Each structure stands twice: as structure tokens, then as C-alpha cells.
Amino acid sequence: MDLGLKEKVALVLAASKGLGRASASALAAEGAFVTIGARNKQALEMAAQHIQRESGSRVLAVPTDVTKEADLAAIVAATTQQFGHIDILVNNAGGPPSGTFATVGDEQWQAAFEMNFLSAVRLIRLVLPHMRPRGSGRIINIVSTSVKQPIEGLLLSNATRMAVVGLAKTLSVELGPENITVNNVCPGRFLTDRIRQGHTVKEKMAQGMSEAEALNELAKDIPLGRIGKPEELAALVAFLASEQASYITGTTIQVDGGLVRAVF
Ligand code: NAP
């Protein structure tokens, strides 16, 4: 299926590795021109070179910390300077640290708010002037299945990602008349550094398990019986960015191998 993404311009944040990088790769593989941002310049440039080689499309790397307003303005400006406009925004960021209500203080709340919510607000504000004149746009937020079923020990993620869902749903109504769609994708458990270095795997390794054993344990309550591959999340991102997804907005869709038991 041709997703109609050839020469569309996509901006993907937190994309030097993991789910962001897989999303950038999926869009570039469909012929989109892609800008990727993350903090570590060397890792980002290596990712850009790799995606460009693999896809044959154009990839721009702009070192960006999503918590810094000036960096966000700079990556949007660099993208429009290089490619002329922006059709697709994929909001993504690092995950906030684990913690419970008793252990998390104001400083951590503020940091999670800035990384996982305010970054999305700011980026959407910055890209809209480049989407509006084209009469269409796609905004996709990578959140977490925690918005369907809160995850124990991940209070900051559970709370801040719900704010993104509220934002997206509201914007889907406000931006619908301008043909700009806004959707959320919810990863369950995917094999990235985030999960390898996460508190659950660390706890199991501290009990004497190998990393592979710890990951196998994590797959036990997933109906499909395995951890996801980043490209399986990226496939939904590319679809939501596509021409075929033109009538889908305001949705929050999980890609989780059946992990979430809730019906809605
Ligand atoms: P990952 O493999 O650790 O990759 C994180 C990416 O984010 C890297 O490119 C990192 O590069 C970048 N990043 C981190 N902090 C940043 C910042 N302040 N500004 C810009 N870029 C930043 O993580 P992942 O698994 O792909 O996770 C991506 C998002 O999905 C996270 O929010 C995570 O919580 C969420 N999620 C993941 C899973 C999962 O199973 N993997 C499940 C649910 C939700 P730099 O460090 O160089 O900046």
C-alpha cells in the first residue's frame, strides 16, 4: 500500500534511538523527508546517516533537548529552512523516572511536566503556522498504555501522559476544520534501551536473573507472548501520518500485544 508520504515533511523528536528512531525510519522508508532531534549529537547524526542510507530519503539531524524552548524553535526553523514546510509532527521524549506519590517531589513533577507535556504544547504551537497554509497536517503523540491502565511505579508517566491525551482530544476538535488530525499512540512494552534499563528489569536482574530472563518475565502477561519490536509501533505512526488515515482524529490507540485488558 502506498501511504502517500513521498516528499511529505516530518519532524520526529527524541529520535536517535528506540521508538522515535523507528518512527523516523518508517516515515523515511515511505519517502518522507525527515528531521530528527535528540540531545546527543553524535548518536543523532549516526542515526540520521543510517536512516538516510537505508531509505534513500533526505534526513536532517538537529540536536535538540525537548525541555528547552529555544531548541524547539531551532529545530522547527531548521526543518522549514531545509524542506520548506512541515506536514507531520511526531511528539516523543524520554520517559520520566519511576516513583510513587511518596517519593516524588515538586522538582520531579515539574521536570516530567516539561518533558512529557509542555514539549508537546510548544511543538504543536511552533508547527501549526507551517501546516495551516497547506490545509492539512498530522500530529501524532507517542504516549504509553499507562493512559489506558496506569502502570505501577510510574506515577509521573501515568499522570503527565493523560494531560497529553486531554490536549490531543481538545485539539482534534479545534483543528479538525483545518484538516489537521491529532492522535496518540500508546506503546505497551517494546525492546528499547528504556525497557532494558527500566526499574522492572533492573529489579529482576538484582534478584539474579539475566537480562534475557528478565525480559521473558516481562512478556508473560502479554497475550501475544513477547515484547514488541519498535518497528511494530512505528508502523502505526506511519499509518496515522498517511493519506489513508485522513478521517482518523482524536484517537488514542495502543500497540501492546494485547497487554491492556480494558475494552476502551
Ligand atoms: P529510548 O530507547 O530510551 O530512547 C529515548 C530517546 O529519547 C533517545 O533518542 C534519547 O536521546 C531521546 N531523549 C531523551 N530525553 C530527551 C530530551 N530531553 N530531549 C530530546 N530527546 C530526548 O526510549 P523509548 O523506549 O524509545 O521511549 C520513547 C518514549 O516512549 C518514552 O517517553 C517512553 O517512556 C515511552 N514508552 C516506551 C515504552 C517502551 O516499552 N519502550 C513503553 C511505553 C512508553 P538523547 O538521550 O540523546 O536525548
pLDDT at 264: 83
pTM of this structure: 0.98
Would the CB of 141 count as within 6 Å of ligand 1?
no
- 37 Cα to the center of ligand 1, angstroms: 11
Q: What is the pLDDT of residues 88-119, one digit of tens each?
A: 999 999 999 999 999 999 999 999 999 999 99
**Ligand 1 atom showing the smallest separation from residue 116 Cα:** 32
pLDDT at 169: 98
H helix and E strand count, the chain: 10, 7
Low-confidence ranges of the chain (pLDDT < 70): none
The packing angle between helices 41-55 and 18-29, to 10°, is: 30
As a whole number of angstroms, the distance between CA 181 and CA 88 comes to 10
Sheet holding 180-187, edge to edge: 59-61, 33-37, 9-13, 88-91, 137-142, 180-187, 252-255
Smallest CA separation from ligand 1 atom 2, residue: 18
Would the CB of 35 count as within 6 Å of ligand 1?
no
For cell 521508538, name the residue.
19
**Which grid cell is 68?**
528547552
As a whole number of angstroms, the distance between CA 242 and CA 230 comes to 19
Q: Is 182 helix (H, G, I), strand (E, B) or coil?
A: strand
Would the CB of 153 count as within 6 Å of ligand 1?
no
List the Cα angle 119/120/123 in 5-degree steps: 85
On whether the CB atoms of residues 95 and 164 are closer than 8 A, the answer is no
